[in-house]
Structures are given as C-alpha cells and as structure tokens.
Structure 1
Amino acid sequence: MLLGDFKSILSQDDKHNGDLISNYETSDFREFCSDLGLVDLNSTGCYFTWTNGTVWTKIDRVMVNIHWFSLQQMTHVHFGTSRAFSDHSPATVQLGIWEFHGKQNFKFYNMWATHPQFLEIISQHWSLDIYGTHIYILCNKLKQLNGALKSLNNLHFSHISKRVARAEKTWMILSFFYRMTGIMVIS
C-alpha cells in the first residue's frame, strides 16, 4: 500500500477547472503506477482531494498493487472534506476483513416486497397497539418489523448480501487483472 500527496494527476479527469493537462505532464506518474502495478483503492467521499478554491484536483491517493488483493484484505479509503487548516482532504483507511460484529443498520431489500406474505407481515406489525409519544410508537413498530423482515429474509432470501459481496470482490479482482494485463477473463 502506498499513500500520500503525489503532487501529480493521472489524467485530465483528475482535475476540475484551470489549464488543460497534456499527456506529457501525466506520463511519468502513469508509467510509475503501471511499472509498479498500482491502482487506486476503492474510496468514498471527496473525489478531488486538493483545492485552492478555484481548481480542484485528485493528487492525494491510496494505492495498492495486485499482491495486496491476493492477501484477501478488504480495504477501503474515505476522503473527507478539507478543513480550514489544510487544502487537502483527510484520508481514513479501513484495513482488514469487513466483518461487523456489532449492531448493523437496517437495510430494506426490494425483493422482500415480491414475497406473497410481505404485506401481511407489514400489516400485522404496523397495527400493534403501542402507547407513548409519536416517535416512541414509530421506533417500536419499526423495531418489531425489523425482526419480522429479518426472519422473512433468512427463510426465503438467505445470504443474498454475502453472495453479492462475493460477486463484487470477484469482479474487482478480475477488472484489476484486466486493467493490468489487457486480457479479458470470461467466466
């Protein structure tokens, strides 16, 4: 893993406003990344990581090579918004296998609505008699409904999230391989 302010961009897409960038200006950095097999790590947050208030560029990066993916490490970087004390976006890197053992946020899956018992489950839990403030009633009904929808998911749509995550990981590795070699893998 290599991270930092590279003071260079890979393409014109990494710059907003200001003078156009020529291939000559980006070729050294592109060749450096190509020689080492470096690609940007998946990220969220700000795409442009540096600004002078008029021009925005992506010069701060967290990069890894194919060997990093072979370690089967799930890694993610988040670029926050720049603060008053810096014109760069702070980067937070999350390392390790993404297994969350605490409370998880509720996720609604559209496929649940296709199940014949979905409306019945919603109706049963929404008609519960709960007393208190409006927000207390809403929170309790949602909490009760959460358990019922999780049961529906486990019984009829088990482990779809894990299957999607596995497919996304495979796609990420194959697309990285294709970018590095130019050889398309068909599976």
Structure 2
Amino acid sequence: MLEKLLELGQPLSMLWLILGDFNCVKSPAKKQLGVAPTYNPIWCKFDPVLLNNEWLEVILHYGAHFSPRGCLSSHSLGIDSIFDHLTPKTKSFRFSTMWANHPNFIVIVEDGWSLNVESTPQFNLCRKLKALKSSIKAFNSLHFSHISVRAKKVDIALQDAQLQLESNPGNAAL
C-alpha cells in the first residue's frame, strides 16, 4: 500500500500529507498471512503519517497528539497540527507604574544611572539604559512575578486570620 501511495504522490509538486489508521483491513483475506483479524483490545498504536519531500523544503512543522484510547475501542482521538515555526519575538521593554511605588525602585534606577562609561553621550545613554533594563527585569522578577500565586497565598492567610478572629473575638493580638 505504501508503494502505491508513493507512486500516486510522485507527480504532485504540492505538499501532501496522509494520515490515518493504516492497521485496518477491508476483509480477513487482506490481513497478512490470511489470519482473521481479532477484535481483542490492541495495546499498541500504529497511526503513521506519510508526507512528501516538499514538506522538508518549506518551513512548516507537523505535530500529532493522541488521546488515550476509548474503553470500547482500540481507537483514540488524534489531534494534528500544522504550523509555521516562528522564532519568538523578543518583548519590548515597557515601564510598569507599579515599580515606582516600590521603596527600592529609586535605588535600582540610581545605581543603573550612576554607571560610569567613557564614550560619546549617545553610547553612554544606550549603555546605561541597557544596564538599567536588566536590573529592572531582575527587580520585577523578584518582587512582582507570579502575582496570582502570591494573591492566592495572601487570600488563604486572610481567610485563616478571619477564622482565628472569629473563634477568639477577645484576643487583642489577632
């Protein structure tokens, strides 16, 4: 069957891709050695994807994900993806107002701005901004990353404090 598919696909200059359940047979006579197919659970997966050489010449990528097989069938859902492989763009630097409210922010800016560079004024500015950018990124990661996780922890602590206060209304420390 593979030879026949390749023969059919040779004259095509466009991309082609064939996927499917190639372990299915039309009739027991088509099964290798003429042995009748069994209908017991199959504990292996053979769902090849065939594609032509043109796929290798373009910047398209193919991926397949197969879900666990069903309880009454040896078949499982296959999700196929064809996508461009794009290199991720670097994010542009953006100032966040929340940084300015942090007590250590001005120290970070002063340290970055006090960098001593002996060159042209434009080069000095670029060098200081670059140094400041890496310092601010580290500062942001340290103090402002994983906000949702931090908010959940604070919410749990608040609920715990409220429960303690409810249980001990006379406790002035709470």
Output the TM-score relative to the length of structure 2: 0.33
Output the TM-score relative to the length of structure 1: 0.31
- Structure of higher RCO (CA pairs closer than 8 Å, 6+ residues apart): 1
Which entry has the higher C-alpha Rg, 1 or 2? 2
